[in-house]
Amino acid sequence: MTIQWYPGHMAKAQKQIKERLKAVDLILEIVDARVPESSINPMIQELGQNKPILLIMNKADMADPRRTQQWIETFKKRGITAIALDAQHKAKLPMIEKVAQEILAEKLAKKRAKGIRNPVIRAMCVGVPNVGKSTILNRLVQKNIAVTGNRPGVTKNQQWLKAGQTLELLDTPGVLWPKFEDPTIGSKLALTGAISDAIYHPDDVVIFALEHFKEYYSSQLQKVYKVTDAELEEPAAELIMILTKRLGFKEDYDRFCVKFINDARQGKLGRFTLDVVPVEAS
């Protein structure tokens, strides 16, 4: 689901999420592993009033594995704990609880020292649209068992759901607004489906994406669209015209651009990561 954001929407989301985050020990910020930096919400630390954050790089099955590893290391250098997983496959999901316990080890030890035998970690999934918040929440919660009893900080129509031995999650994820300030970020978020199709031009997105693929993933272009070595030298706008014709779309360039975006989103162009790891950290 993609949402069109207006200042009013953002202010409302900001207020609601800030209120709900008061009740948590840990924020699970979900990002798309193909755009791990661009899909981070710029204000989450402020909204969470510096509560610990576990950054979950979801859709790692669609991302470039080498860059995923580089990003985990880069985030670590920035003091952020990040893990990569694929919510559609359950194998790595238990990592969330394990790493949550590590992040909160000190707080949990204090609770144990006070006589609380199995202290619970309360967390909330947040993230920009389409990064897999609901999928992760549903997979972790499995049977959607609500934890009984009222807990402070949760409004009456919200519930904590058991999501592991010691993990409880708020029943609805928080939808955050994406970054807008930079058109390149906009193109990255559009290509991965985090911003509404109504608010970008497909050709802008594809020009950006083709330049990126030409530089980093040229073999995927060669494989999928039969791009030749000589064509890889062409500017992206020229390549759009060539490929539009090759696919039999005559001069319907938008049709090619929409197809390219869908191919990328559906993984037909192979695995890719659009956020390049900063040089000093790679």
Q: Is 262 annotated as a binding residue?
A: no
Are 208 and 235 a contacting pair, CB within 8 Å? no
Beta pairing partners, 57? 31, 84
Q: Give the integer Cα–Cα distance in Å for 76 and 36.
A: 13
CB of 130 to ligand G4P, least distance (A): 5
**With CB under 6 A as the contact rule, which of the stretches 126-134, 145-153, 158-166, 208-216 interacts with ligand G4P?**
126-134
Could you write out the three-class secondary structure of 155-183? CCCCCEEECCCCEEEECCCEECCCCCCCH
Nearest residue to 20 via CA among 47, 40, 50: 47
174 is in an annotated binding site: yes
Task: Give the range of 65-73, 124-132, 143-151, 235-243 binding ligand G4P by CB under 6 A.
Answer: 124-132
- Is residue 171 a contact residue for ligand G4P (CB under 6 A)? no
Which of 14, 16, 101, 134 touches ligand G4P by CB under 6 A?
134
The answer to whether the beta carbons of residues 70 and 281 sit under 8 Å apart is: yes
Rounded distance between C-alpha atoms, residue 19 and residue 163, angstroms:
22
Rounded-to-integer distance, Cα 21 and Cα 153, Å: 9
Which one of the spans 76-84, 128-136, 143-151, 162-170 is the region binding ligand G4P (CB under 6 A)?
Answer: 128-136
CA separation (Å) from 172 to 28, 55, 122, 166? 12, 18, 13, 19
282 is in an annotated binding site: no
Query: 35, 131, 189, 274: which one contacts ligand G4P (CB under 6 A)?
Result: 131
Q: Give the closest residue to 212 by CA, choosing from 135, 259, 166, 275.
A: 275
- 68 has binding-site annotation: no
Q: Is 172 in the site for ligand G4P (CB under 6 A)?
A: no
> Which 88-107 residues touch ligand G4P, going by CB under 6 A?
88
Binding footprint of ligand G4P, residue count (CB under 6 A): 17
129 binds ligand G4P (CB under 6 A): yes
Contact map string, positions 31 to 70, toward ligand G4P, x by CB under 6 A: ---------------------------xx-xx--------
Which residue has the closest beta carbon to ligand G4P? 132
Of 268, 274, 276, nearest to 63 by C-alpha is: 274
Residues that bind ligand G4P (CB under 6 A): 1, 58-59, 61-62, 86-88, 127, 129-135, 173
